[in-house]
Chain A
Amino acid sequence: MSDLFAQAFMQHALLAGTGVALAAGLAGYFLVLRAQIFTTDALGHVAYTGALGALAFGFEPRLGLLVATVLTAIGLAGIGHRARPDDVAIGSTFGWLLALGSFFLTLYTTRPPSNSAGNGVANVSYLFGSIFGLSAGQAVLVAAVAAAAAALIVIGARPLLFASLDETVAAARGVPVRTLGLGFLVLVGIICAQAAQAVGALLLLGLVAAPAGAALRLTARPYVGMALATLIAVLSMWTGLIVSFYTSSVPPSFAILAAATIAFVASTAVGRRSDSGDIGRLGVRPIQGATHVRRSGHRSAGTSPPRRRPGRTRPHFP
């Protein structure tokens, strides 16, 4: 175990990884509650485009990451109703932005002075992360920024939880729902930019979704859930790093994601057995599809569609 901590790259990875996991686990809890996991998907993909765009035009790639995710977070908050944009608009936009990333990759790898092999390595490391390649300065910066974002979420946790669980009532009670939504998404953007450096732009989604999904299955109490999501994320990170350290054939990003996925699957087994943790008690609004169903149910009950006699159900429909 001592050789584990003796290696400088491992110290850096543990430092950065812990910061990123703290922030991703905590933010993930709110993202799942607020039905914004797809938004995170978009932010991760845009992070890649930001990094490759910066590389193609000769800027600092980490700055490109951050600018891309934060601008996208603001944009997504802007186009959506109450900072909740619709999936099709998000999907179309990030689909194209990712394609733009592939265009930047072509620019970057075919630019005359650069060597194609080195550029290919940069491409892979922004897609899938290179946590063992962080320098001391980079690791400290990643950990500090991620921890600061996490601290801001903790400070705003109470009103944000209220706004996430019942937006309408929160707004009626004077909670600045829109501002909170925007601020939260910007923080998520910042966290994604840090996480992209650790586990990669494509994989950070799992670090956000899996621990939060597991926590929400295990407990219905929000503050316990937040702590649990954060804990599962950090433990997944440590497990992944240690496994990858001792088995050289397994890349750290895969090991971290596999640990988080296993935690989620395990929570399914546990959560199903004791189904007491019903988040419905909290008055959480159901997913979009479910609200739609409920609304249409009310309508059809009110206008009472023509009843057909039982036993004469037609096999076809209008």
Chain B
Amino acid sequence: MEERNMPRADFVTSLILITFGSSVLITSLRMPRLEEQQVNPFSVPGLVPGLLGVLIAFLGIVLLVRSIVQKGYRLDISGETTRGFLAAETTRRFALTILLSVAYAMGMLGRMPYPLATGLYIFVFIVIFEYRRGVSLLSQWKRILLAAGIAAAASGAVTGVFRYAFFVTLPR
């Protein structure tokens, strides 16, 4: 992140931290004191999380004050900046990486056989990132074939080595 944007980022983060710290404190105060079990009051479950909630909220306030001094409250969010951010190549690559990886880890695993899910993920990842825009998909058949080969080999090797050579538990 550029230095000039940091006070704005800090302003937003500090608000999140204050909210988070306060929530932790409130939840900790609501935790039972276990008086019916006659426990020592200094050993109640909410003691340490409550203290941490106070500390995190306090540090959030320090960050908030600092960001206000650096005029970080001027967020300058406009349609133009948002459109620029969404259209940037880095945003596209970032979003695709997360989307594909989350789809594999949280969507496919456990719902289909592991080697199939893994092979499919690697194949789709390589094809999507190596796909050249403006050129037809069919004409990139060598790239697609190589991706399929790598996906099959990697999936097979990983399953074979972990599951059968080292007896490591893998998802279904």
Chains A and B are bound partners: no
